[in-house]
Each structure stands twice: as C-alpha cells, then as structure tokens.
C-alpha cells in the first residue's frame, strides 16, 4: 500500500541526509527530486534545450556523478523556474510517490504541489548562516576555493529565487511539521523526523 513522505526545505538544511535515513528506517524507496532539476541543468550546460531535456529525462540520467557541483546547482535553480520544465518532471515524481511499499521524496514543492495528499509532510530548515557554513565545509573538502562569503551569497540568492518564483515557490505546506536543524545534531534531526512520521501513521 502506498505511503508517501514529503520532505521539503531550502538548500543545505539537511533534508537529503534526513530523507535517506528516514527511507532506510521505514524501508521505503527514496527520490531526491532536486537531482531531476540538476540532471536537466547539466544537460543545459552541455548545450541542450531545457524543456526538451526535461521531457526526455530518464532514471539513469540521475546517476551522473557530476550533478553535485555548484555550477550544476545554479543551473538547476534556473531551469526550475521554467513552467514547462516543472510540468515535464511532475509526472515522474507523482508516479514514484505512489509506488507500492512507500516512498520518500525530498525537494522544494513536494508537500505543496507534487504530493499535497502525502500521508506525512516535513519542512526541514536552518538559518542561512548555518546552511552556508555546512555547504562551505562540504565544498572545501572537495577542493573548492569558494569563500564563505561567496557561499553565503549563493545560498541567499538561491533561497530568494526558489521562494519568489511564480510556479511552485519554496514554502512549507500548511500541515507540514517544521524541523529546524540549526542547533540539532544529525542524529537528533533524524530522530525528530522519524517521530513526526510515526505520529502520521507510518
């Protein structure tokens, strides 16, 4: 029987880590919907048309090892404001969400647009400064020479673009449980998410 868990939130709030842990805990399939937009963004950077790339997207495109770069992240955020791109990717996400055996989807509009009927909804957030610190550390470990100030500016710009776009802006669903990870360890954040999902009937 399908049971959908929708996990939304801004970049570097911890939703990906929490989503993977929640999926493992409940034995559900997991989809990082941001990878759909990153895969389209990567194709655009390679010269493809955004709408055509979205319409032709295949599951194996999500396995591209280069989807986590800062350049692809910015391209993803830009293609995500194109209504035709979002429309092409909605069907992919909805079908995944209602698969038998349960599904966890994380993104920016899962609880509000993709799966408004999801059985459990979380909105994972943290302050821009905390998120920039996390992203800066992650990028530094990968050898990036971006400064903290540049990373913070990127986080703030992306938040603004994601929350102000006309189609499916980033915001918590009215019935979402807010999990603020600013002062939580990873373990505590995961525990809070699992407790909220269990309370929803998982």
Task: Indicate the annotated binding residues for ATP.
Answer: 9-17
- Nearest alpha-carbon partner for 122 in 43, 16, 8, 28: 8
Rounded to whole angstroms, the Cα distance separating 84 from 62 reads 19
Longest dimension (CA), the chain: 47
DSSP characters over 69-124? SHHHHHHHHHHTT-HHHHHHHHHHHHHHHT-TT-EEEEESSIIIII-TT-SEEEEE
Rounded to whole angstroms, the Cα distance separating 185 from 202 reads 23
Residues in the annotated binding site: 9-17
């Amino acid at each position: 029987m399908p049971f959908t868990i929708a996990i939304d939130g801004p970049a570097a709030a911890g939703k990906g880590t929490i989503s993977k842990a929640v999926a493992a805990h409940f034995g559900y399939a997991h989809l990082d919907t941001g990878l759909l937009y990153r895969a389209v963004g990567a194709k655009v950077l390679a010269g493809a048309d955004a709408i055509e790339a979205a319409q032709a997207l295949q599951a194996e495109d999500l396995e591209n090892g280069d989807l986590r770069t800062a350049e692809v992240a910015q391209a993803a955020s830009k293609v995500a404001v194109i209504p035709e791109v979002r429309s092409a990717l909605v069907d992919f996400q909805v079908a995944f969400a209602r698969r038998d055996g349960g599904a966890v989807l994380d993104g920016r509009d899962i609880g509000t647009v993709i799966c408004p009927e999801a059985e459990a909804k979380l909105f994972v957030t943290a302050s821009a400064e905390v998120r920039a610190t996390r992203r800066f550390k992650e990028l530094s470990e990968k050898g990036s020479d971006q400064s903290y100030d540049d990373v913070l500016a990127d986080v703030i710009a992306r938040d603004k673009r994601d929350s102000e776009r006309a189609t499916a802006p980033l915001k918590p669903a009215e019935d979402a449980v807010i999990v603020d990870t600013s002062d939580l360890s990873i373990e505590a954040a995961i525990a809070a998410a699992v407790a909220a999902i269990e309370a929803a009937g998982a």
